[in-house]
Structure 1
Amino acid sequence: MKIGIIGAGAIANFLLKEINSKQMKNLHINSILVRDVEKYRTLESSFGVKLYSNLDDFLQSDIDIVVEAANVQAVKTLLPAVMKKKDVVLISIGALADAELLTEISSLVDEYNHVVHLPSGAIGGLDIVQNAHALGSVTNVTLTTRKPASSLIEEIITDEKVIFAGKAVDAIKQFPKNMNVSIVLALAGLGVEKTNVRLVADPHIEKNIHQVDISGDFGEASIKITNNPFPENPKTSYLAAMSILGTLQRMNRNIRIGG
C-alpha cells in the first residue's frame, strides 16, 4: 500500500522511520504534503519520499491512501477535497467535534465511496463498544480521564479535583484539546450526547490515565490505560502514535483480528 502523509511533524517522522527506514512489508510512504517544501527537503533523501505543497499534485501522486498528521485546521480545510479522491486515516479526530464537518464527511463517504479510518488513539475498548452495540444494546459508556493537575489547571491542589462531569458533547466544547479520545469513543457507540465523561485533575500522577466503563445487554467491561508520552512529542501519547501504525498494518492483512 502506497501512503501519502499530510504534515511532517513528530507523527509523520515516526511513520517514516517505522515504515520506510525499516522497509515494512507491503507499506511505503511515497508522498508528503507540506506548506514549506524547502524546510523539509531533507526528508526526500532521508526516507525516499517526494514532497508537495500543492494538494492536487499530492493527490495525483502515486498513493493509495492519505494519512492526515497535521492539525484540526488542516482537516477542516483539506479533508473534504481529499475524500473525493482517496481513503483517509484521520489523526486529528478533534475536528469531528464540529457537527457541520462531521455531517459533510458522512455525505462525502456515501457520495464518493471512500473510507475514513479513525485510529483508537490513546484509549482502548472501542471494539467492545462497537461489537456490544451491534444490536443497539449498550446502555452506558463512561470515559474517566485523569491528567496531571498542572496540565489542566493553574490552581495548586493537593487532592484530585473533578473539573468536568457531563456528556461528551459538552466536554468537547469546554476542553477541546483534552477530549479528543471522547470523540472517537462517542462515535464508536452512543454518540456525543449520550457518552458520559469525567475529567479529573490529579496532582499525584505524571501520566494520562483513561478508563472506559461499558455496560449493556452483553454485561459489563472496564478498560484502563496509562499512557507513556511519545518520545518526540510529550504532548502526544505513545499509544496514539502506535495506533496509527497499527491501523495501516491491519489494512494489509488477510487475517484480521477483532474489529
Structure 2
Amino acid sequence: MKIGVIGAGAIANFLFEKINEQQQENLRINSVFVRNKEKYKHLESKYAVNLYTELDEFLDSDIDIVVEAANITTVECLLPTILKKKDAIVISIGAFADSTLLAEVSNLISEYKNNVYLSSGAIGGLDLLQNAHALGTVDKVTLTTRKPAKTLIEKEITSERVVFEGKAVDAIKLFPRNMNVSIVLSLAGLGIDFTNVRLIADPHIDKNIHQIEIVGDFGEATFTITNNPLPENPRTSYLAAMSILGTLKRINYNFKIG
C-alpha cells in the first residue's frame, strides 16, 4: 500500500520511521503534504519521500491512501477534497463533532465510494462497543479521563479536580486538544449528545488515564487505559501513534478480526 501523509510532526515522524526506515511489509510512505517545503526538506533524503505543498499534486502522486497526522483544522479544510480522490485515515477525530462536516463527509463517501478510517487513538474497546450496539441496545457510555493537572489548568493544585462533566459534544468544544477520544467513542456508540464525559485534573499522576464504562442488553464492560507518551514528544500518546500503524496494517491484511 502506497501512503501519503499530511503533516510532519511527532506522529508523522513515528510513521516515517516505523514504515519506511524499518520497512513494514507491503507499506510505504511515498508522499508528504506540508505547508513549508524548505522547513521539512531533510525528510526527503532521510526517509525517501516526496514533499508537496499543493494538495492536488499531493493527491495525484503515487499514493493509495491519505493519513491525516495534523490537527482538527486540517480535517475540516482538506478532508472533503481528499475524499473525492482517495481513502483517508483520520486521527484528529474531534473534527467530527461538527455535524455539518460529518454529514458532508458521509455524503462524499457515498458519492465517490472512498472510505474514511477512524483510528482509535489513545483508547480501546471500540470493537466491543460497536458489537454491543449492533441492535441499538447500549444504554449508557461513560468516559472518565484523568490527566496531569498541569496539562489542563495553570493554577497549582494539591488534590484532583473535575474540570468538566457533561456530554461529549460540549467536552470537545471546551477541550479540543484533550477530548478527541470522546468523539471516536461517541461515533462508535450513542453519539456525541448521549456519551457522558468527565475530565479530571490530577496533580498526582504523570500519564493520561482513560476509563470507559459501557452498559446495555449485552451486560456491562469497563476498560482502563493508561497511556505512555510518545518518546519523541511527551504531549503525544504512544498508543495514538501506534493506532494509525495498526489501522494501516489491518486495511492491508485480508484476514480481518472483529
TM-score category of the 2 structures, normalised to the smaller one: over 0.9
Aligned to 1:68: 68
Bigger mean CA offset, 45-54 vs 212-221:
45-54
Aligned partner of residue 256 in structure 1, secondary structure: coil
Aligned partner of residue 248 in structure 1, secondary structure: helix
Q: What TM-score, normalized to structure 1?
A: 0.97
Aligned to 1:85: 85
Structure 1: gaps spanning 5 or more residues: none
**Cα drift, residue 172 of structure 1:** 1.4
Does the Cα contact within 8 Å between 2:69 and 2:91 map onto a contact in 1? yes
Map Cα deviations across residues 47-83 of structure 1 (whole Å, 9 max, x no partner). Answer: 1111111111111111000001111221111111001
Does the Cα contact within 8 Å between 2:90 and 2:118 map onto a contact in 1? yes
**Cα drift, residue 98 of structure 1:** 1.8
Letter in 1 for 2:95: A
Letter in 2 for 1:93: I
Map Cα deviations across residues 150-177 of structure 1 (whole Å, 9 max, x no partner). Answer: 1112233222111211111111122222
Q: How does 1:9-28 map to 2 (within 5 A)?
A: 9-28=9-28
Aligned partner of residue 39 in structure 2, secondary structure: helix
Distance 2:10 2:157 in 1: 32
Does the Cα contact within 8 Å between 2:10 and 2:236 map onto a contact in 1? no
Letter in 2 for 1:210: H
Map Cα deviations across residues 214-243 of structure 1 (whole Å, 9 max, x no partner). Answer: 010110000000001111221111000000
**Cα drift, residue 10 of structure 1:** 1.2
Aligned to 1:185: 185
Aligned to 1:161: 161
Q: How does 1:105-124 map to 2 (within 5 A)?
A: 105-124=105-124
Structure 2: gaps spanning 5 or more residues: none
Map Cα deviations across residues 173-210 of structure 1 (whole Å, 9 max, x no partner). Answer: 22222111000000000000010101111111111100
Distance 1:56 1:253 in 2: 28
Letter in 2 for 1:82: I
- Kindly tell me the number of residue pairs found equivalent between the two proteins: 258
Q: What TM-score, normalized to structure 2?
A: 0.97
Aligned to 1:149: 149
The alignment-based identity, stated in percent, is 69
Distance 1:109 1:153 in 2: 39
Distance 1:101 1:210 in 2: 27
Letter in 1 for 2:128: I
Bigger mean CA offset, 222-231 vs 173-182:
173-182
Distance 1:203 1:51 in 2: 42
**Cα drift, residue 34 of structure 1:** 1.0
Aligned to 1:5: 5
Aligned partner of residue 23 in structure 2, secondary structure: coil
**Cα drift, residue 147 of structure 1:** 0.7
RMSD (Å), alpha carbons: 1.0
Distance 1:48 1:157 in 2: 47
Map Cα deviations across residues 115-134 of structure 1 (whole Å, 9 max, x no partner). Answer: 11000000111111101000
